[in-house]
Chains A and B, each alone.
Chain A
């Protein structure tokens, strides 16, 4: 009795073949060429490949020609490529030697079962779209074109708008390649296409219908007229393919957006400044910010963080790397580093976290966000040359204790403040 047809591609004569022959109509290919010839002549339910001995570069092409065949890899394991790589190539399963008798058969049965499910579901999809009255009615009233294809990339449905946009008849059963022009089928690389039509340009965006363990059971494609955008020169590839409709945000959407902005739970990509990390790394002390791999050693070491979670150096660095410039510079937390350098000593990447906090504060000061406490300190140092005034009274007390008099001459300090421009910065900060 035969439960299906199997092709084994192996250069040796493996023992498990005899087991397979009892249950399946089994053939053997001893080379890649042999395998391709056999697959071209006949549709197999399953192809089993010894991936340790057979090259795999031919596989994607053959697989595309046989969407209703499952591929199973057999390997001795250990030195071979990872299971993930194998699965990515579209194998249904990977079986490692030595496998118990019956294991391969179980895998095969499951795979073949899944195949028949796929076939069934694909037929269901085709039946649904061609017979379901409400689907037809809805799709005919769409302002976009809609095309549904099955797992063999043949059209099972096309609405009036799609035919109008393409300027041609699109009968059921038409291979999708006749619409797209050059490609035999839809896949991850052709999910977004622009098609030239007699009337202009149409963007075609396709999504797979996944309702089956082996692969997609069909595709849904939406067609949009982009002729006008193309003519007016506004068309970038994203505009054509991703956002062909210009949408004015409603007041409600605006409100939602500002809620999102203020919630801190979300990051709006439009508000990010991708150059922020470069701006930081150009400053003395900020050079290593991009070395951070977010291990959290700084957080674990931080004595401020023990007391208050508002301050989280890893989070601040991550925000800076993401480009949350405005958010970081305006924040209170960049001023909460106590400059204890514990993180500096323990960071495995030599990120120099303490210096980065200073760089962020330096940039914040230039933008007018200096903390008031520092504005006062800058003023004292400029006018006194030191943080605290030592007046005559203090000097008399010093004299009584036998300590030398302290003079306050700040002329050179004034000059320093002029050279570096900190005077101006402080005036800006003080006025905020």
Chain B
């Protein structure tokens, strides 16, 4: 049995819109000896329901936590929103007696219970904390030193900070930049680094949502970075899937590739672009790969 073991929480957006992300996560987990178990009973994390009914949202999250607890596994997430709601409900169960009572009695009706025994970590945090930056560095076999990545931390990877155990500072985050450095590539500094992608508003007010992404694309373009490094499928929907639309709507040209961190790390440890699903990224990665002497 491997030392680092997690139940992989796949969520809704990844299987539908980010198979390349999932592919790269599973490949990287194999390489760094992280055992990821699929638990078929996992459902939607509950996050999207928080706006309309907090009790349902919390119960969905608690049910997922209870499934992992029953299997004796901590949870590794890939989506920041899943990370946030699962961590929040775990935190509330331990810190808010009123919520804990409600969840306990609701779970009991499902014949389930949750005792607060599951730790929730985003895959990026697993790499950063469990595998460790030094181990990542020593596995690097391809030279990425010509590349500069603008890391987009997004919101729910680190916020609300009380539920994430303070492993990185939301106001001055550095874990993703440290992960980029570990690959040999350079982390880019840019204005509005902590900004939100606007994804939560895409279905509510498209105009505001796309403008939020546009503002960040402008800042990243100004920094001269080669590509965006991110870790959340919905942020990717905004910057990658919608980049052409934003260019059209605001008469701009960005042409900035958007990569998931495990894809960048995969390149660094010598995996082929196809193994990492780089052909599935919407903004072409061909130019980026040409810089590395690879065919896209």
Chain A residues proximal to chain B, CB less than 8 Å: 283-285, 303-304, 306-308, 311, 335-342, 344-345, 354, 358-359, 361-362, 365, 370-371, 373-378, 381, 385-390, 394, 397-398, 401-404, 406-407, 409-410, 412-413, 415-417, 419-420, 422, 425-426, 429
Contact = CB atoms under 8 A, between A and B. Distances in A.
Contacts of A425: 52-53
Given A304-B212, A362-B53, A401-B19, A387 B106 contact: no
A403 B43 contact: no
Given A381-B43, A398-B15, 9 more contacts: A307-B208, A344-B159, A362-B51, A373-B204, A394-B15, A401-B23, A404-B38, A406-B15, A429-B52
A24 to B, nearest CB: 67
B60 A416 contact: yes
A345 B43 contact: no
A412 B64 CA distance: 11
A287 to B, nearest CB: 9
Given A336-B201, A338-B196, A390 B15 contact: yes
B160 A344 contact: yes
Given A336-B201, A345-B170, A420-B56, A387 B13 contact: yes
B269 interface: no
B109 A374 contact: no
Contacts of B26: 402-403
A412 B110 contact: yes
B3 interface: no
A373 B212 contact: no
A339 B40 contact: no
User: Which 4 pairs from chain A and chain B are nearest by CB?
Assistant: A340-B196, A341-B159, A388-B16, A373-B203
A338 B159 contact: no
A386 B200 contact: no
A373 B209 CA distance: 14
B284 interface: no
Given A341-B156, A390-B15, A412-B110, A303 B195 contact: yes
B208 A345 contact: no
A415 B199 CA distance: 29
Contact of A345 (B17, B109, B160, B205): B160
B201 A338 contact: yes
Interface of B: 10-13, 15-17, 19, 22-23, 26, 38, 40-41, 43-44, 48-56, 58-60, 63, 92, 96, 98-99, 102, 106, 109-110, 155-156, 159-161, 170-171, 194-196, 198-201, 203-205, 208-209, 211-212, 215, 277
14 contacts: A283-B54, A303-B212, A335-B205, A338-B199, A339-B50, A344-B159, A361-B52, A373-B204, A374-B51, A381-B49, A403-B22, A406-B40, A410-B43, A416-B106
Given A304-B201, A338-B198, A342-B194, A285 B211 contact: no
B161 to A, nearest CB: 6
Contact of A359 (B54, B60, B209, B212): B54
Contacts of B40: 406-407, 409
A359 to B, nearest CB: 7
A298 B197 CA distance: 18
A329 B206 CA distance: 21
A311, A336, A397, A407 — most chain B CB neighbours (10 Å):
A336
A387 B44 contact: yes
A423 to B, nearest CB: 10
B44 A303 contact: no
Contacts of B99: 284
Contacts of A365: 51-53
A413 B98 contact: no
A307 B106 contact: no
Contacts of B109: 415, 419
B48 A381 contact: yes
A397 B44 contact: no
Contacts of B41: 409, 412
Contact of A362 (B52, B98, B110, B194): B52
Contacts of B171: 345
Nearest to B51: A361
A307 B156 contact: no
A284 B96 contact: yes
A339 B209 CA distance: 12
Contacts of B96: 284
Contacts of B16: 387-390, 394
Nearest to A344: B160
